[in-house]
């Protein structure tokens, strides 16, 4: 007679295979082998890291350039630390630019040709980050016009169809429960890859208060709107009192849960982040701020100080990088950027695939570049340092996540998955 357990089932049917008994010494040996394997996986990044320019390591160099700029303007350090002085003294002509950046006669003529069609300007602070001799400087590429902006490239002035998703005032609405209000066309620096270059115009101009009120009234009348993003241009170019008036009206609407600010000022004019501004914002929580940092060189001590003030005011910070050819379409650069962002208290949020905006084709990369970057982030850095890679669907159809495939196949009882090390595993799919 066969032995059975109390439930009447045979012991042989439930018997689990015996696990190999591993001695403590063997466990340590296997652990050390695995640690060595993991260390080798990151060796290439560690070798490349010293070659990646990081803003905090360039304090002395930036200070020397700052002094040259201050002498040019006959200005003081107190002026430099004033965000209003920074905006007022943006460099916006090639005649002024050539005092600070080495430009060939050909480049001078090219910039003049571009500025006849597209306005540009750079804050004195952001100018101090530019290597005056290096045409490949990532700050220079983002800031100074290139003749390629005039090439016919198949791009569109408004690839997101913002003009067809504008139900009132200066609103853009692409989603069921949230929308954008564009408050101004002014920025601390006009990025050469800007998706709204059509709106930069010829003069700085905040949106008229009546048009803003029309936008806010639309939100009052549509109770499904729970999340409002203030953008532009850059909303932090408004006076603190003017910005507060908009935020106060939004916060008085019962169904508005979240107010977000999209601003590059903490990066291009970090002097704008004052205690007064932070104290005001702290009165209207929950408020979130997303900025745009595209290269580790942009994360200077001044940016770290600005982020510290915002964080102490309880404002969560996120980063929306744009994938740009020759600036950050490199897995090592992007990983370094994301890790530096976390140290600055900024959560990497999105990597945007560059939109097909007229005049920006020289910045556009392949989607393969973005997917490769995501492959080299997962497993090689902490999850907090991994943003979503996003393609904005043309025509204003919204953000679409793009990522490497980790689910190879799915069956009724199991899924086949791929790990970050390309190990293929069958995993139970319980129902």
Domain boundaries, position 359: 162-401
Residues 182 and 238 in one domain: yes
Residues 253 and 118 in one domain: no
Residue closest to 190 by CA, chosen among 198, 182, 200: 200
Residues 167 and 141 in one domain: no
Report if residue 236 sits inside a domain.
yes
The residue with greater pLDDT, 7 or 268, is: 268
What is the biggest distance separating any 2 CA atoms in the chain, rounded to whole angstroms?
104
Residues 78 and 114 in one domain: yes
Which of 150, 180, 210 delimits the end of a domain? 150
Which of 150, 170, 197 delimits the end of a domain? 150
Residues 181 and 86 in one domain: no
Residues 113 and 204 in one domain: no
pLDDT digits (tens, 9 = 90+) for 338-378: 999 999 999 999 999 999 999 999 999 999 999 999 999 99
Residues 128 and 174 in one domain: no
Report if residue 8 sits inside a domain.
no
Report if residue 261 sits inside a domain.
yes
Model confidence at 156, pLDDT cuts 50, 70, 90, reads confident
Which of 72-81, 153-162, 226-235 has the least mean pLDDT? 153-162
Residues 132 and 210 in one domain: no
Report if residue 195 sits inside a domain.
yes
Residues 126 and 181 in one domain: no
Residues 213 and 308 in one domain: yes
Q: Counting Cβ atoms within 10 Å, is residue 424 exposed (0-12), middle (13-18) or buried (19+)?
A: exposed
The predicted model scores a pTM of 0.92
Model confidence at 161, pLDDT cuts 50, 70, 90, reads confident
Report if residue 183 sits inside a domain.
yes
Residues 194 and 170 in one domain: yes
Report if residue 244 sits inside a domain.
yes
Q: In what order do the strands lie in the sheet with 398-401?
A: 171-172, 178-182, 227-231, 258-262, 287-291, 317-323, 346-353, 388-393, 398-401
Report if residue 223 sits inside a domain.
yes
Report if residue 185 sits inside a domain.
yes
Q: Which residue has the tokens 């970050």?
A: 420
Q: How many structural domains does the chain have?
A: 2
Residue closest to 306 by CA, chosen among 340, 270, 260: 270
Residues 344 and 230 in one domain: yes
Q: How far apart (Å, rounded) are the C-alpha atoms in residues 127 and 51?
A: 21
Q: What is the mean pLDDT of residues 325-345?
A: 98
> Helices (DSSP H) in 254-365: which residue ranges?
265-268, 275-282, 301-312, 331-343
Q: What is the mean pLDDT of residues 208-234?
A: 98
């Amino acid at each position: 007679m066969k032995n059975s357990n109390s439930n009447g089932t045979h012991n042989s049917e439930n018997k689990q295979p015996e696990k190999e008994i591993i001695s403590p010494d063997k466990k340590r040996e296997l652990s050390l082998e695995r640690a060595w394997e993991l260390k080798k996986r990151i060796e290439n990044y560690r070798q490349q890291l010293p070659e990646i320019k990081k803003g905090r390591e360039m304090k002395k160099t930036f200070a020397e350039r700052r002094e040259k700029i201050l002498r040019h303007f006959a200005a003081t350090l107190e002026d430099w630390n004033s965000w209003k002085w920074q905006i007022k003294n943006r460099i916006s002509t090639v005649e002024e630019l050539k005092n600070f950046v080495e430009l060939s006669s050909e480049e001078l003529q090219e910039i003049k040709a571009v500025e006849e069609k597209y306005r540009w300007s750079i804050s004195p602070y952001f100018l101090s980050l530019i290597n005056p001799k290096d045409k490949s400087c990532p700050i220079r590429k983002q800031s100074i016009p290139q003749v390629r902006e005039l090439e016919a490239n198949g791009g569109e002035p408004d690839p997101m169809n913002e003009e067809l998703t504008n139900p009132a005032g200066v609103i853009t609405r692409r989603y069921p429960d949230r929308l954008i209000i564009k408050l101004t066309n002014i920025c601390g620096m006009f990025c050469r890859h800007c998706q709204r270059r059509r709106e930069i115009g010829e003069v700085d101009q905040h949106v008229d208060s009546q048009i803003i009120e029309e936008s806010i009234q639309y939100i009052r009348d549509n109770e499904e709107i729970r999340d409002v993003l203030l953008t532009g241009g850059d909303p932090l170019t408004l006076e603190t009192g003017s910005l507060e008036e908009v935020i106060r009206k939004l916060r008085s609407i019962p169904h508005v849960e979240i107010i977000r600010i999209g601003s590059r000022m903490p990066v291009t004019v970090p002097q704008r982040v004052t205690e007064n501004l932070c104290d005001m914002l702290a009165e209207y929580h929950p408020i979130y701020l997303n900025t745009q940092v595209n290269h580790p060189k942009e994360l200077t001590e001044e940016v770290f100080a600005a982020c510290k003030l915002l964080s102490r005011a309880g404002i969560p910070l996120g980063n929306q990088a744009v994938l740009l050819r020759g600036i950050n379409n490199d897995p090592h650069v992007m990983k370094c950027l994301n890790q530096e962002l976390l140290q600055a208290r900024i959560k990497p949020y999105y990597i945007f695939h560059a939109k097909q905006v007229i005049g920006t084709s020289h910045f556009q990369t392949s989607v393969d570049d973005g997917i490769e970057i995501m492959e080299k982030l997962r497993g090689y850095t902490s999850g907090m340092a991994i943003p979503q890679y996003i393609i904005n669907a043309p025509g204003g159809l919204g953000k679409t996540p793009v990522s490497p495939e980790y689910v190879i196949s799915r069956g009724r009882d199991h899924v086949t998955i791929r790990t970050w090390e390309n190990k293929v595993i069958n995993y139970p799919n319980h129902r």
